[in-house]
Amino acid sequence: MVSPETIAITAGRNDTGGSLAPAVWASSTFQMTSLDDGRRQAMRPRTTRFYGRHGNPSVRAFEDAVAALEGAEAAMAFASGMGAICAVVLGLCNKGAHIVAQQQCYGGTTQLLAGVCPRFGIEVTFVDAAQPGAFAAAVRPGETMLVLAETPANPRLDLVDLDELGALIGPIKVVDSTLATPLGQQPLAHGIDLVVHSATKAMAGHNDAVLGVVAGARELIEWLWGFAVLQGATASPYDATNALRGLRTLGVRFRQQSDTATALAHALEGRDGVLEVRHPSLASHPRADLARTQLRHPGGLLSFELAGGVEAGTAFMSAVQLCLPATSFGGPETLVTHPASTTHAGLGPEELAVSGIGPGTIRLSAGLEGTEDVLADVLAAVDAAQAGTTASPDPAEGALGR
């Protein structure tokens, strides 16, 4: 069986003309050979040489690569991860539909489900994904159209049993697998119908593309295409090309980031001033057994809770020097953020509590710097936060001199 790392190198090369680097098809529209040809193209799903909103050769190359990595019949790219999530939710659910979704997920997804869906007459039931059987218990036979999970979940790395989810009968089962990437897990192999990624993150991997993608059965993807043409969240050929380039190095990047995050998680656990650490590599993770059997790699994201709440979080964010304060993840730089103030700022206190996000929660995305350098910077910042002061070393020394 060919490994995902090999597929990441070889997939998406059907229309390159022998070029090893992906080609950028920047055209928004293409010349028709005849009126009949134009009519056929206008009615054909996912055509790539008609009009940019319908499809593009550069975007298709990226889509084909993701489909191959996920073991899917087809994939479709969108202008962002939220564009992909919106297309799935609003493209598959009508007024009166019922959705079951987990409480622990990305803030934008929560806002879409809790704030936008009710306006369209779509009812959403939120469940605690940490509880086995929670999804099945909330499904209403004949009413539930969609079950939506995010695993590992942002930012607390909660895990959902994909086999348990895939065994549900009736609703369309969707998993946001952004944190795991296709190299960490393949939800479709567990009976999931659609897998969603914010390809902006580790897939593209260089902080130079904004992109989302959905993979699954061809019939479902073509249905979503019909909605997407009207929705207009069209993927840029430039971003798709950058993301395809990123897929080529995803294997080595993801291993390095996983190794660094694992080292950080173990170093932080039990340290003064750190109340809790969440990473799938830890034996203390609530679903550590599931992490060992379901994930090929534990991933480059971890979160930890600092004693001292917002003040400690603010002190930590001010103290880091090598790590950069930023809200994304999966890129070459190690990034840190305070979810309650950034990625989940749109949630109220109760919603934050339900999501497990505390006032001192820090999310860290491990980059590609030397592991020891990242460790030194993070541990020094934790100590500074615990002391209640911002670290002020000699500027000439820098983070790497610690």
User: What are the pLDDT digits (tens) for 324-347?
Assistant: 999 899 999 999 999 888 777 777
pLDDT tens digits for range 221-237: 999 999 999 999 999 99
- Spatial distance between the Cα atoms of 347 and 355, rounded to a whole number of angstroms: 9
- Domain boundary at 248, 281, 314, which? 248
- Selected residue with higher pLDDT from 50 and 135: 135
Count structural domains, the chain. Answer: 2
So what's the pLDDT on residue 228?
Answer: 93
Q: CB 131: neighbour CB atoms within 10 A?
A: 10
Bridge partners (DSSP) listed for residue 23: none
User: What mean pLDDT do residues 286-293 have?
Assistant: 96
Asked if residue 268 and residue 188 are part of one domain, the reply reads no
- What band does 211 get if pLDDT is binned at 50, 70 and 90? very high
Residues 261 and 347 in one domain: yes
Q: Same domain for 141 and 234? A: yes
Parallel, antiparallel, or unpaired for β 194-198 and 212-216? antiparallel
pLDDT at 18: 81
Mean pLDDT estimate for the chain: 92
Say which range, 141-155, 284-298, 388-402, has the weakest mean pLDDT.
388-402
The pLDDT, as a whole number, for residue 174 is: 98
Structure tokens at 144: 């539930």
Judged against a pLDDT cut of 90, whether residue 349 lies above it is answered with no
**Over residues 287-304, mean pLDDT:** 97
Place of tokens 């999310």: 363
Examine the pLDDT at 359 and tell me if it is beyond 70.
yes
Do residues 198 and 181 make contact, with C-beta atoms less than 8 angstroms apart? Answer: no
Active site residues: 53, 106, 176, 201
Mean pLDDT of 255-261: 98
Mean pLDDT of 262-291: 97
- CATH code of the domain in which 123 resides: 3.40.640.10
**pLDDT tens digits for 148-193?**
999 999 989 999 999 999 999 999 999 999 999 999 999 999 999 9
Q: Which residues sit opposite 99 in a β-bridge?
A: 124, 146
394 pLDDT more than 50: no
* 20 HSE (CA, 13 A, CB side): 2
The answer to whether residues 116 and 162 belong to one domain is yes
> For residue 253, how far is the Cα from the chain centroid?
16
User: What pLDDT, on the 0 to 100 scale, is given for residue 15?
Assistant: 77
pLDDT band at 402 (very low <50, low <70, confident <90, very high): very low
Clarify whether residues 180 and 46 are in a common domain: yes
| Mean pLDDT confidence for 382-391 | 77
What pLDDT sits at residue 130?
A: 84
Residue 395 has pLDDT above 90, yes or no: no
pLDDT attached to residue 9:
95
Q: Give pLDDT, residue 390.
A: 43
From the list 391, 369, 218, the residue with the least C-alpha distance to 318 is 391
The CATH number assigned to the domain holding 390 equals: 3.90.1150.10
208 neighbors 228 (Cβ within 8 angstroms): no
Q: Is the pLDDT of residue 353 over 90?
A: no
| Cα(242)–Cα(272) distance, integer angstroms | 41
pLDDT value at residue 401:
36
Same domain assignment for residues 165 and 259: no
- Say if pTM beats, i.e. exceeds, 0.85: yes
CA distances from 342 to 54, 73, 347, 357 (A): 34, 36, 10, 12
Model pLDDT, residue 398? 40
Residue 298 · residue 280 · CB < 8 Å: yes
Q: Above pLDDT 90, what percent of the chain?
A: 79
Same domain, 258 and 385: yes
Q: How confident is the model at residue 276 (pLDDT cuts 50, 70, 90)?
A: very high
Containing domain of residue 315, as a range? Answer: 251-401
One domain, residues 218 and 272 = no
389 has a pLDDT exceeding 60: no
Please state, in angstroms and rounded to a whole number, the distance separating the CA atoms of residues 171 and 99.
Answer: 9
* The pLDDT value given to residue 393: 45
| Cα R_g (the chain), whole angstroms | 22
* Residues 225 and 310 reside in one and the same domain: no
What pLDDT was estimated at residue 340? 85
The residue written with tokens 């190690």 in the block is 334
Shared domain for 74 and 182, answered yes or no, is: yes
3-state DSSP assignment of residue 109:
helix
Point out the domain boundary residue: 223, 248, 273: 248
- pLDDT above 70: percentage of residues in the chain: 97
pLDDT range class, residue 38, cuts 50, 70, 90: confident
277 and 187: one domain?
no
Contacts of residue 169, Cβ cutoff 8 Å, sequence gap at least 6: none
335 and 353 fall within a common domain: yes
